[in-house]
Structure 1
Amino acid sequence: MTSSRPSRKPAPKSARKRVHEPARKPFRVPGPSRSALSVLRPPAFTGRLHDARTATAVGRWLGAAFAVCFVTGLVSHYLQHPPAWLADDLPARPVWGYWLTQGLHIATGLAAIVLLLVKLWTVYPRLFVRPPVRSVRHALERLSVAVLVAAAVFELLTGLLNIVEWYPWPFSFIQVHFAVAWVVTGSILLHVAVKTPEITAHWSKRSTGTLALPAEDAVDRRSLLLGMGAAVGVVTLTTVGQTVTPLKTFDLLAPRHPDHGPQGLPVNRTAAAAGVTAGGLAEWRLEVAGPRPYALTLDGLRAMEQARARLPIACVEGWTVQADWGGVPVRALVERAGGRPGRVALRVTSLEVSGAYRVMEMGEEYVDDPLTLLALTLNGRPLSLDHGFPARVIAPNRPGVLQTKWVHRLEVL
């Protein structure tokens, strides 16, 4: 007996598959995504404090730091490499002169790194202004800013690497650093001249410029400046101990500690690095050339009248240490050779195999100063080999690189 209900045949598999498949999307030609297009658009800066008032406030401190660096850098450069017309007039007093100027140079240079980073943060949105060039004057202004930023970054970076004595470049640091300092200074003066109206408008606490933030944002600006000042303070406190020895306990970030080194003093160039060995000093003699030339052994030097002087040894890397030096006044050695102190200069030659300061000259002021010694002792003990045994020059107000070690010849000029 058959059923009266109509029979239901199962649907074909292909039909069932089509029922459950999602609808296919129409084919589209691939193109740049929305995220890719957003990269091509100028970024929208929603952060605050990228205004002219903040840039001016930071710029004041940065400009002051660069000014101190420039002036003290000139002093250091001309003490190390005096032109012929200045060599005999360089002052030997005050004895702490180079200590002060070079210490300021390094301290303000390190502080300027923090200040420059904050300054660049306040103004970097202007890199994305559209159109990038609106006129010839605007193009020249942007070019001058590019030169200023590049030169400032270069100057601070190379100065920082010089402090740690790392020179990963093929050029001479001293000459290039000195030349770029003039570029930085000229660029700053040009920038200030171009921006004078804007700087004037935003110099005071009550800014009148059109780019100023609302008055209620002064608290945020003050917080930024206080944070910047705190960062500068921390950098200074943790590095200046290499120059201001009462703060040496906090000397955490400086590459030198004033108490670390042979006989309690740091050294930049060891005897091994200079190619000087104890064995090579067995027949050492001091040669003094002049109208009445002569030579002295170490015992002969010790037999002469000795003098003592407490002088700082201050290096271009920023560290300074006071020490007690004993030895023969250079003036006495010059007189014995027939020279007239106050009217002669002196050429000093070291035993080191090579080096930019293997031969050094000192002018009349240094030769005539009674504190200028051919030192034989340091803090009451004979010089160690790394500190220049058997004899070295120590003079007041003079860069450490010119306090020649391992002296074997003096020539009265």
Structure 2
Amino acid sequence: MTAPTRRRLLPARPRPPSFSGRLHDARTATAVGRWLGAAFAVCFVTGLISHYLQHPPPWAAGALPSRPVWGYRVSQGLHVGTGIAAIVLLLVKLWAVYPRLFVWPPVRSVRHALERLSVALLVASAVFEVFSGLLNIAEWYPWPFSFVPVHFAVAWVAAGSILLHIAVKAPEIRAHWGRRSPGTLALPAQDGPDRRTLMLGLGAAVGAVTLTTVGQSVTPLARLDLLAPRHPGHGPQGLPVNRTAAAAGVGEAALRDWRLEVLGPLPYSLTRAQLLALPQVEARLPIACVEGWSVEALWGGVRIRDLLDRAGAPPGAAVRVTSLETGGAYRVMEMGRTYARDPLTLLALTLGGEPLSPDHGFPARIIAPNRPGVLQTKWVARLEVL
């Protein structure tokens, strides 16, 4: 076999797709990585807050804070807002480093194989987190697993992968961090204007995406809320609704003979008319959903602690709340003593001075300060002293 024939039989080296531009370099990757790292850090911390408010460990359930009343609204708004911004940042980051994702040969040593594995884990977990989070705020779940535990678990994988990546790439990051870093001297001077243009465009894209989505939680910007799946003023009685009465299986038959059961040392039950005859309290509180939207509203009803006292509950008692809905992960909810005893935690009967609409939980629902919306149980049927 001749030499030319042998050369023709050798496998051709795969080539990555070619994008125009000269900015697939460490300097660009570092510049974008600073913003992306900050966005992921905010998402991770606020995600932990959201998860542990929804699913507190047993030792912390009774000590979760009910103040500030707007705390969850801010933290979850930050979580969703920075998560959406991170999608733009992640795409540009992958664009900047993509040639390194296709190096040949793919594995040159054991150390190189481990580094490649860590990068693959980082990219996969980061892409999963931001895009699954985006689908969650749109309430579209095209997967067979439960979103909350998987999203939470992969967040830890992504956080660990980012820290490992920073540790491995620390010398290169340090060399390209600042404008006067020694590592930047080797870069072509003519790339500077292009890189600045790229970063300005990236900043404009992040700003545009943020301004057109953050209005779902920052109500002064509601007029700019063009891309978010929720508008804070759209829905029955001026509030959005995630789960309607029909979707929850709460119809006229379930409400016909409704009475609130309060179980404790001195159990009793009350009709809605009897609840309205009790001392009423009004409170202006935000309702903040895990999908990122939040609205402040005027709620009226009876303090939960007054209902518990009437049932003979001890001062440190918690409460279990059961809904009329026929199914769902949050049909039964437990509330620790801090929330149960807070003077602003209400069994709400009215919204904006009007009776609750069916989709907002008629005949009664929970409203509490600094509480995720999924735990503001609607269509309450029973309160049980724990």
TM-score normalised by L of structure 1: 0.89
Amino acid at match of 1:398: R
Q: In the superposition, relative to structure 1, how do residues 319 and 44 fare at CA in structure 2: closer, same or farther (>3 Å)?
A: closer
Q: 1:370 aligns with which of 323, 343, 359?
A: 343
Q: Is the 8 A contact 2:323 2:331 kept in 1?
A: yes
CA displacement at 1:340 relative to structure 2? 2.7
CA displacement at 1:370 relative to structure 2? 0.2
Amino acid at match of 1:381: E
- Could you say which residue in structure 2 is the equivalent of 1:172? 146
Equivalent positions of 1:255-294 (< 5 A) are 255-294=229-268
- Tell me, what secondary structure is at the counterpart of 2:106? coil
- Could you say which residue in structure 2 is the equivalent of 1:398? 371
Q: Is the 8 A contact 1:72 1:102 kept in 2?
A: yes
Q: Is the 8 A contact 1:91 1:397 kept in 2?
A: yes
- Tell me, what secondary structure is at the counterpart of 2:322? strand
Count of paired positions: 379
CA displacement at 1:157 relative to structure 2? 1.0
- Could you say which residue in structure 2 is the equivalent of 1:357? 330
Equivalent positions of 1:16-95 (< 5 A) are 40=14, 47-95=21-69
Structure 1 vs Structure 2 CA RMSD: 1.8
Q: Is the 8 A contact 2:250 2:325 kept in 1?
A: yes
CA displacement at 1:214 relative to structure 2? 1.3
Equivalent positions of 1:231-246 (< 5 A) are 231-246=205-220
Q: In the superposition, relative to structure 1, how do residues 156 and 376 fare at CA in structure 2: closer, same or farther (>3 Å)?
A: same
String of CA shifts for 1:3-34, please: whole Å, max 9, x gaps. Answer: xxxxxxxxxxxxxxxxxxxxxxxxxxxx9xx9
String of CA shifts for 1:326-375, please: whole Å, max 9, x gaps. Answer: 0000010000000133x010000000000000000000100110000000
Q: Distance between the aligned counterparts of 1:212 and 1:125, measured in 2?
A: 19
Amino acid at match of 2:365: R
Residue segments in structure 2 that go unaligned for 5+ positions in a row: none
| Superposed structure 1 runs of 4+ greater than 3 Å apart | 37-46
Q: Is the 8 A contact 2:176 2:184 kept in 1?
A: no
Q: In the superposition, relative to structure 1, how do residues 212 and 272 fare at CA in structure 2: closer, same or farther (>3 Å)?
A: farther
1:248 equivalent to 2:209? Answer no
The higher radius of gyration belongs to 1
- Could you say which residue in structure 2 is the equivalent of 1:160? 134
Q: Is the 8 A contact 1:308 1:327 kept in 2?
A: yes
Q: Is the 8 A contact 1:43 1:128 kept in 2?
A: no
Q: Is the 8 A contact 1:376 1:390 kept in 2?
A: yes
1:221 equivalent to 2:195? Answer yes
String of CA shifts for 1:99-129, please: whole Å, max 9, x gaps. Answer: 0000000000000000000000000011232
Q: Is the 8 A contact 2:348 2:366 kept in 1?
A: yes
1:129 equivalent to 2:103? Answer yes
Q: In the superposition, relative to structure 1, how do residues 103 and 40 fare at CA in structure 2: closer, same or farther (>3 Å)?
A: closer
- Could you say which residue in structure 1 is the equivalent of 2:271? 297
Greater CA drift, 127-136 or 184-193: 127-136
Q: Distance between the aligned counterparts of 1:41 and 1:77, measured in 2?
A: 43
- Could you say which residue in structure 2 is the equivalent of 1:140? 114
- Could you say which residue in structure 2 is the equivalent of 1:314? 288
Q: Is the 8 A contact 1:51 1:212 kept in 2?
A: no
Instruction: State the identity %.
Output: 76
Residue segments in structure 1 that go unaligned for 5+ positions in a row: 1-30
